[in-house]
Amino acid sequence: MAGPTTETETGRTLAALFGRSLIGGVMMGLANLVPGISGGTMLLAAGVYPDFISGVAEVTTLRFKRRSVVVLAGVVLAAGVAILTLAGLVKALVVEHRWVMYSLFIGLTLGGVPIVRKLIGKHDSQVWGGAAAGFVSMGALAWVQLSGIGTAEMGASGVVMMFIAGVAGASAMILPGVSGGYLLLVLGVYVHILAGIDAFKDGLKAMDPAALVTPLTGVVIPVGLGVVIGIVVVSNVLKVLLERFRKPTLGFLLGLLVGAVIGLFPFQHGVEPEVGDMVKGRTLTPELLAELDAEDWPVEFFTPTVGQVGGSALALTAGLGLTFLVSLVGGKSEDS
């Protein structure tokens, strides 16, 4: 972990740290938009992960050291800008090129396995027990996604789900290897959150207060509160678990990573519904069908062509290689 500020830590040193924090924040923001990539992994790659964890621990205990404030300010600012400006693009790619993006996500997810295995060290029965529990948990989340439970009509319960999603997403900011974006995906709120952020950005650009109300109250505020509370709670809980039950906790994390691919079967696409179909708990009328966006269409599996299988394999390999390279860079940054 990062040490305390010293007398030799000049303004130039803090400026360099702030610059690295901005880079790490941008990478974290992108990671939180893309299922399979961990925000913690990105901070490792930028070389600010120890400072970030120390900063969270210090700020949540009301200790405001200069170094911690600089790091947290840089990461939070850059991550927020990245999420706000790129959410629409990522949402469009997932909706319009689902099988390609899911293949990429599988590779990105499995690429995080070496990070966790390095943290675990020697495997034993505690590790395998935790891994089994994590794998089963992720399988249950995948079942929730496929059964459609997570895509219920967004009302008051939708706000609660958005808050829960924010808490889940916060886990990706604390521990390398956990993808908050993937958890949002299997909870069935991933596209809804991206759409809400994109609508909020459009309302800001148009300077239209009325257009800001729905995305602000339905997505931005509940997710934001969930993220803040999640960071505070998850960071302190994980600190205790890693101190007292390190092996099973890291094993559970490994199981989550491997089990994540269950819900990312790539060959599925959205299918335009018809009048009378049940979507999001509602029977579609002509009016409701006209208002239904493509990201809300039901998803079904399809038989891929040979070209799609090959393209999927290439996307998976690219994702695997990208995350593996980032993990290598992150490991070197951490060691240094």
Give yes or no for residue 150 having a pLDDT over 70.
Answer: no
User: For residue range 91-144, what is the model confidence (pLDDT) as tens digits?
Assistant: 788 778 888 988 887 887 777 777 677 778 888 888 899 889 988 887 776 676
239's CB contacts (< 8 A; 6+ apart) are 57
Fill in the amino acid letter for 302: F
Q: Give the Cβ contact number of residue 229 at 10 Å.
A: 14
Q: Of all residues in the chain, what percent carry a pLDDT higher than 90?
A: 7
For the chain, the domain total comes to 1
293 in a structural domain:
no
Name the more confident of 10 and 87. 87
Beta-strand (E) ranges in 73-182? none
212 in a structural domain:
yes
3 in a structural domain:
no
Confidence at residue 327, expressed as pLDDT on a 0 to 100 scale: 60
Confidence at residue 279, expressed as pLDDT on a 0 to 100 scale: 67
Give yes or no for residue 314 having a pLDDT over 90.
Answer: yes
Name the more confident of 58 and 174. 58
Contact 110, 320 (CB under 8 A): yes
Give yes or no for residue 12 having a pLDDT over 70.
Answer: no
User: For residue range 35-68, what is the model confidence (pLDDT) as tens digits?
Assistant: 656 777 677 667 787 788 778 878 877 788 888 8
Q: How confident is the model at residue 31 (pLDDT cuts 50, 70, 90)?
A: confident
Using CA atoms, how far apart are residues 208 and 160, in angstroms rounded to an integer?
26
Helix (H) or strand (E) holding 120: helix 113-120
Q: What value does the mean pLDDT take over residues 1-29?
A: 70
- Residue 15, burial from CB neighbour count under 10 angstroms (0-12, 13-18, 19+): exposed
User: For residue range 203-259, what is the model confidence (pLDDT) as tens digits?
Assistant: 888 888 877 887 888 888 888 888 888 888 877 777 778 778 888 888 887 887 788
Confidence at residue 173, expressed as pLDDT on a 0 to 100 scale: 65
Confidence at residue 178, expressed as pLDDT on a 0 to 100 scale: 65
Q: What value does the mean pLDDT take over residues 155-168?
A: 74
Q: How confident is the model at residue 310 (pLDDT cuts 50, 70, 90)?
A: very high
Beta-strand (E) ranges in the chain? 268-270, 278-279, 282-283, 299-301
Whole-model pTM: value is: 0.63
118 in a structural domain:
yes
Q: How confident is the model at residue 309 (pLDDT cuts 50, 70, 90)?
A: very high
6 in a structural domain:
no
Using CA atoms, how far apart are residues 334 and 176, in angstroms rounded to an integer?
12
284 in a structural domain:
no
Helix (H) or strand (E) holding 332: helix 306-335
Token duo for residue 59: 């700020």
Confidence at residue 237, expressed as pLDDT on a 0 to 100 scale: 79
Owning domain of residue 167? 11-267+303-335
SS3 285: coil
